[in-house]
Amino acid sequence: MQRQWTRARQLRNNSTDAERRLWYFLRRQQLASHKFRRQYPMAGYIVDFVCVPARLVIELDGGQHLDALAYDERRTARLECKGYRVLRFWNDDVLLRTDDVVAEIFRALGEKPKA
């Protein structure tokens, strides 16, 4: 378990551009007062973002995920078995259509985006 926490810390310190962009909107309970954690170990994996009270996991996928579809499906199934909903977004969507991604997260949280 300690190895996962160490790896999670490394991932936080070496975030991708898309992760940094989305974290800007998720941190400090800016998204309808929901608290998110980033690069958080759970269910044997390290998830990109999670809102534990809302049981919502957000995963950002880059091009390498095209070669790992079966792995991602198993990972999603395991998280869903633990009672979490999993939203997946492509890095390009986060970088180019940030407002749409944030609005989709709002919908998943059951909140309406502020105008």
The domain containing residue 87 runs over which residues? 2-109
Note whether residue 115 is domain-resident: no
pLDDT in tens, 91-111: 999 999 999 999 999 999 985
Q: CATH number, domain at 48?
A: 3.40.960.10
Q: What is the pLDDT of residue 6?
A: 79
pLDDT in tens, 13-48: 778 899 999 999 999 888 888 999 999 999 889 899
Note whether residue 114 is domain-resident: no
Q: What is the pLDDT of residue 93?
A: 96
Q: What is the pTM of this model?
A: 0.84
Note whether residue 16 is domain-resident: yes
Angle between helices 98-109 and 17-26 (to 10 degrees): 50
How many domains does one find in the chain?
1
Residue type, 71: Y
Note whether residue 63 is domain-resident: yes
